[in-house]
Chains A and B, each alone.
Chain A
Amino acid sequence: MVIKFTINGDEMEVDVKPNETLLDVLRNKLFITGPKEGCGNGECGACTVIYNGKPVNSCLILAPEADGAEILTVEGLTKDGKLHPIQEAFIEENAFQCGFCTPGFLMSTKALLERNPNPSREEIVEALSGNLCRCTGYDTIIRAVKKAAEKMGARS
């Protein structure tokens, strides 16, 4: 079946099957490989995308469910070759090592800062509890989110 959605600002039509997930379609049909498949069960958050304004696990969405949706992946964060302030903050704070979880963290952070531009440490931890990182121990990530909040506050 053919579905239509908007991805990173571009309207697209894709032929999908009911037994494909949104993540399968993004990665294998559209070659948007920012979202990663970690657990495939909604536990690790590596596949997090912003879906109609909200962060969700794209591995738990059947592709046809996404008909009409507006989707943002890490690829859509960069504007005209310029990194998003959240991305800059993650680099400056060394908030990743292997990088596998990073696109998911960036999307969860983007959604968090949109609903709460100045989150406390506790609010950051809660908002990111669905994203697992096996390298950093999370401290640098939390620092990066704080820094991103400052940068974005400063810019607007």
Chain B
Amino acid sequence: MIPLDFSYFRPTTLEEALDILSEEGMIPILGSTDVVVKLRARRLKPKGVVDLKAIEELHSFSFSKEEGMVIGAAVTMNELIEDHPEVKENYPVFYQAIKKVGAYQTRNRATVAGNIGNSSPAADSVPPLLTYNAKLKLVSKEGERTVELKDFFTGPGKNILKQGEIIHSIIVPYEGPSIGMYYKLSRIKAVDLSTIGVALTVIDPDGKRDIRIALASVAPTPIRVFEAEDFIRGKELTPEVVDEFAKIVQKNTSPITDTRGTKEYRYEMAYVLPKKILRELGLYEEVS
């Protein structure tokens, strides 16, 4: 029993949902994996929760090279990695990160929209999405707008959503084949939030070779480090270039100490991991 009184709504149309959500104190829920934990800890005290899962259009998924991938808010993480082979094929770094969220049970409920809506600096789905230039379609009673994911977060647990506004879908452009890695360091291998998460994506590895990098759990929000990307663009991947790249990534972090790790450790790993990933991808060799 959750020591709190609130009401529950399960609208079947978007219009109805947005109507209820426009009222102060109403919050949306999808997999409720974050929400129930927070309710129980009384870290959330809503007047009511609005379950979006009965709204058919939020369960849609589509992919095409022209339009990219469009993930409806209510699609679960396991649906993404088990039912849609396009995800692994075209967005391998995102696929790897999703597989590392929680346990199998968690992913049967958890959604990417909920991960983004929760706006934790540790959200594992976010760094890869940042490297793939993801956008969000937001809807409210007032209308809809599309925003860049990189402009969505404003602090730990904070974002630009207004009361009554929800994530309708996540749009991930297709910019060509990609390789890369999501490296998640956590205290235990099974179920744990990231001490640090690094997504390194290489778009068009055999052509223009565009290297992109984004990190979780090293700043108040997940971050993408454009400065490091600009530095490495077009350069041969010599040990010196890669080292400088990693130093620029590190310089852009501002980690804190918490139960999962110290700021010194995170800072060090923000330098070690980008190099390690490039090495493991076979993109450069360290000369000893």
Task: Tell me the A residues contacting B by CB distance below 8 Å.
Answer: 1, 18-21, 24, 40-43, 45, 48, 51, 54-57, 59-62, 64-65, 67, 108, 111, 126-127, 129-131
Main secondary structure of the interface of A (DSSP, over half): mixed
Query: Pick the contact of B2 from A19, A130, A131 — CB < 8 Å?
Result: A19
> Is B190 engaged at the interface, CB distance under 8 Å to the other chain?
yes
For B22, the chain A residues whose CB sits under 8 A away are none
Q: How far is the CB of A2 from chain B (nearest CB, A)?
A: 13
Given A41-B40, A64-B8, A65-B32: A18 in contact with B105 (beta carbons within 8 A)? no
Whether A19 and B105, one on each chain, are in contact in the complex, defined by CB atoms closer than 8 angstroms, is: no
Q: Please measure, in the bound complex, the distance between the C-alpha atom of A41 and the C-alpha atom of B32, giving whole angstroms.
A: 11
Task: Report the nearest A residue to B105, measured CB to CB.
Answer: A130
> Is B124 engaged at the interface, CB distance under 8 Å to the other chain?
no
Contact indicator per residue, chain B 7-48, by CB within 8 Å of chain A (1) or not (0): 110100000000000000000010111001101100000000
Whether A130 and B10, one on each chain, are in contact in the complex, defined by CB atoms closer than 8 angstroms, is: no
Given A67-B10, A129-B191: A42 in contact with B108 (beta carbons within 8 A)? no
> Is B78 engaged at the interface, CB distance under 8 Å to the other chain?
yes
Task: Report the nearest B residue to A61, measured CB to CB.
Answer: B32
Whether B106 and A57, one on each chain, are in contact in the complex, defined by CB atoms closer than 8 angstroms, is: yes
Given A67-B10, A127-B104: A61 in contact with B1 (beta carbons within 8 A)? no
Whether B10 and A64, one on each chain, are in contact in the complex, defined by CB atoms closer than 8 angstroms, is: yes
For B189, the chain A residues whose CB sits under 8 A away are 129
Number of residue pairs spanning A and B whose beta carbons lie under 8 angstroms apart:
88
Whether B7 and A18, one on each chain, are in contact in the complex, defined by CB atoms closer than 8 angstroms, is: yes
Contact indicator per residue, chain B 74-109, by CB within 8 Å of chain A (1) or not (0): 000010000000000000000000000011111011
> Is B281 engaged at the interface, CB distance under 8 Å to the other chain?
no
Query: Pick the contact of A57 from B2, B40, B78, B105 — CB < 8 Å?
Result: B105
Whether B8 and A59, one on each chain, are in contact in the complex, defined by CB atoms closer than 8 angstroms, is: no
Whether A129 and B108, one on each chain, are in contact in the complex, defined by CB atoms closer than 8 angstroms, is: no
For B31, the chain A residues whose CB sits under 8 A away are 60
Q: How many residues of B contact A (CB 8 A)?
A: 31
Whether B7 and A42, one on each chain, are in contact in the complex, defined by CB atoms closer than 8 angstroms, is: no
Q: Please measure, in the bound complex, the distance between the C-alpha atom of A62 and the C-alpha atom of B4, giving whole angstroms.
A: 13
Whether B104 and A55, one on each chain, are in contact in the complex, defined by CB atoms closer than 8 angstroms, is: yes
Q: How far is the CB of B117 from chain A (nearest CB, A)?
A: 16
Main secondary structure of the interface of B (DSSP, over half): loop
Q: Please measure, in the bound complex, the distance between the C-alpha atom of A53 and the C-alpha atom of B109, giving whole angstroms.
A: 12
Query: Pick the contact of A108 from B1, B10, B53, B104 — CB < 8 Å?
Result: B104
Q: Please measure, in the bound complex, the distance between the C-alpha atom of A40 and the C-alpha atom of B3, giving whole angstroms.
A: 13
Instruction: List the 4 closest pairs (A to B, CB-CB), nearest first.
Output: A130-B103, A18-B8, A19-B2, A129-B190
For B191, the chain A residues whose CB sits under 8 A away are 43, 129-130
For A19, the chain B residues whose CB sits under 8 A away are 1-6, 39
Task: Report the nearest B residue to A58, measured CB to CB.
Answer: B105
Query: Pick the contact of B36 from A21, A67, A126 — CB < 8 Å?
Result: A21
Whether B5 and A48, one on each chain, are in contact in the complex, defined by CB atoms closer than 8 angstroms, is: no
Q: Please measure, in the bound complex, the distance between the C-alpha atom of A129 and the C-alpha atom of B105, giving whole angstroms.
A: 9
Whether A42 and B102, one on each chain, are in contact in the complex, defined by CB atoms closer than 8 angstroms, is: yes
Q: How far is the CB of B105 from chain A (nearest CB, A)?
A: 4
For B6, the chain A residues whose CB sits under 8 A away are 18-19
Known pairs A57-B105, A57-B106 / 6 extra A-B pairs, C-beta < 8 Å: A18-B5, A18-B8, A42-B102, A61-B109, A62-B32, A127-B104
For B165, the chain A residues whose CB sits under 8 A away are none
Given A19-B6, A65-B53, A129-B190: A55 in contact with B1 (beta carbons within 8 A)? no
Q: How far is the CB of B149 from chain A (nearest CB, A)?
A: 26
14 A-B interface contacts by CB (under 8 A): A18-B5, A19-B2, A54-B78, A56-B109, A57-B33, A60-B36, A60-B37, A62-B49, A65-B8, A65-B32, A65-B53, A111-B104, A129-B189, A130-B103
For B102, the chain A residues whose CB sits under 8 A away are 42, 130
Q: Please measure, in the bound complex, the distance between the C-alpha atom of A54 and the C-alpha atom of B107, giving whole angstroms.
A: 10
Q: Please measure, in the bound complex, the distance between the C-alpha atom of A17 and the C-alpha atom of B190, giving whole angstroms.
A: 33
For B103, the chain A residues whose CB sits under 8 A away are 45, 129-131
Interface centre among A54, A56, A60 (most CB of B within 10 A): A60
**8 A Cβ contacts from B198-233 to A:** none
